[in-house]
Amino acid sequence: MAVLFWVIIMVVSGLAELHTNALAGLFVGVGAAVAFVFALGGASFPVQALAWLVVTAVTMAALRPIALKKLHHPAGDLAHPMDTALTGQFGVVEHEVGDEIHPGRIKIRGESWRAVADSGSIIAVATPVVVTRAYGTTLYVHPR
């Protein structure tokens, strides 16, 4: 039963990692893989859990900062908006776009995206806009 538990943890953490760019799920999954091996070896569940916690904590503390620098945008700072593949793309406002507290929606190539006015001013519906940068799935835009 413990083997199945660790497989579920690995799958869930892998799926979680697919939906984020934080690289946390990856290391939780690595810890679960080590615990899975302990379970196959017949170790008790408390030993498996301890191995999972230790491996997750050590890999997250030691490897995550290195991986974030290597795998992400050269700016590397995920706390600030940055250039993405959508930077420079043109769209049209679907729902009035305001500041970060009052975001709206824009449409680019048939897809709807959450948007914030780069200047903080309000951009009316049907206004053509250009993407200047992004933060996660939020696009920063200004009128064309």
Domains observed in the chain? 2-71 (no CATH), 90-143 (2.40.50.140)
- Taking residues 90-107, what's their average pLDDT? 94
Q: Is the pTM of this model over 0.85?
A: no
Residue appearing with tokens 């230790």: 54
Per-residue pLDDT averaged across 4-25, rounded?
87
User: Of residues 50 and 17, which shows the higher confidence score?
Assistant: 50
pLDDT at 75: 46
Q: What is the pLDDT of residues 48-78, one digit of tens each?
A: 999 999 999 999 999 888 877 776 544 445 4
Backbone dihedral angles phi then psi of residue 84, each to the nearest 5 degrees: -140, -175
Q: Is the pLDDT of residue 119 over 90?
A: no
